[in-house]
Amino acid sequence: MGFFDRNRKALLADGIDPARLPPGQYRTPRWPVLHEGPVQQVDLGSWTLRVWGAVDRELRLSYDDLVALGEVDLVTDLHCVTKWSRFDTAWRGVPISRVLDAAGLKPTATHTLQHAPYAYSTNLPLADLLRPECLVATSVDGGPIPANHGGPIRTLVPHLYLWKSVKWVTGIQVLDHDVAGYWEQRGYHDRGDPFLEQRFR
């Protein structure tokens, strides 16, 4: 029996449906730290989220502006393209759909680029970010998001591989066409569905 088969057998022993684990993944209680570039130290007092592009009005939201849109709680699984999965992670944040509603989407809007420091970006169809489980996250596991996991503010797109959730997010650009992001330009899949193993093009 191979490693991944043993991991699924362990899920059954723990009373967890193995169907929650995408193919080629293993469950871990840890939360490995993986990112491109240095860890950012972000001051919430000066942090802003810019929303621009194919929207009716460009926004620059402070932390207070963001949370005034209304936070929700979510418990979800995380899946990294490097093959680990972490189950039942508790988040709080503002649905990205509320942020985009506040900006007003133009009829031509079809795609997005999420932005972060050091020219990091990742692309997605607009429909993915409008799903109710996608958040601009403000806390995790009952406390602040650690800096090495993208805190104090990051996005969460839990139905896709974790590189589609942006650490230290600074902006969401709405587009009328697709534009490849940082990892996508380097051969990663444009969408990144873990259950379809969309790791690379």
Identity of the residue numbered 40: Q
**Rounded Cα–Cα distance for residues 121 and 178 (Å):** 13
18 Rama sector, left if φ>0, alpha if ψ -120 to 50, beta otherwise: alpha
**Rounded Cα–Cα distance for residues 101 and 35 (Å):** 29
**Residues 174, 109: contact at Cβ < 8 Å?**
yes
**Rounded Cα–Cα distance for residues 154 and 194 (Å):** 20
**Residues 100, 129: contact at Cβ < 8 Å?**
yes
pLDDT of residue 166: 97
Does the N-terminal peptide bond of residue 152 adopt cis geometry, omega within 30 degrees of 0? yes
- Domains assigned to the chain: 44-196 (3.90.420.10)
Q: What is the pLDDT along the chain (201 residues), one digit of tens a residue?
A: 567 677 778 888 888 888 999 999 999 999 989 887 889 999 999 999 999 999 999 999 999 999 999 999 999 999 999 999 999 999 999 999 999 999 999 999 999 999 999 999 999 999 999 999 999 999 999 999 999 999 999 999 999 999 999 999 999 999 999 999 999 999 999 999 999 999 998
93's CB contacts (< 8 A; 6+ apart) are 71, 72, 74, 135, 136, 137, 138, 139, 156
Please calculate the CA angle 129-184-163 and round it to the nearest 5 degrees. 55
115's CB contacts (< 8 A; 6+ apart) are 50, 121, 166, 169, 170, 171, 172, 173
pLDDT of residue 1: 57
Per-residue exposure over 11-32, b if at least 16 CB sit within 10 Å of its own CB, e if not = beeeeeeeeebbeebebeeebe
pLDDT of residue 63: 98
pLDDT of residue 9: 80
What does the block give as tokens for 147?
Answer: 């800096």
**Rounded Cα–Cα distance for residues 72 and 58 (Å):** 24
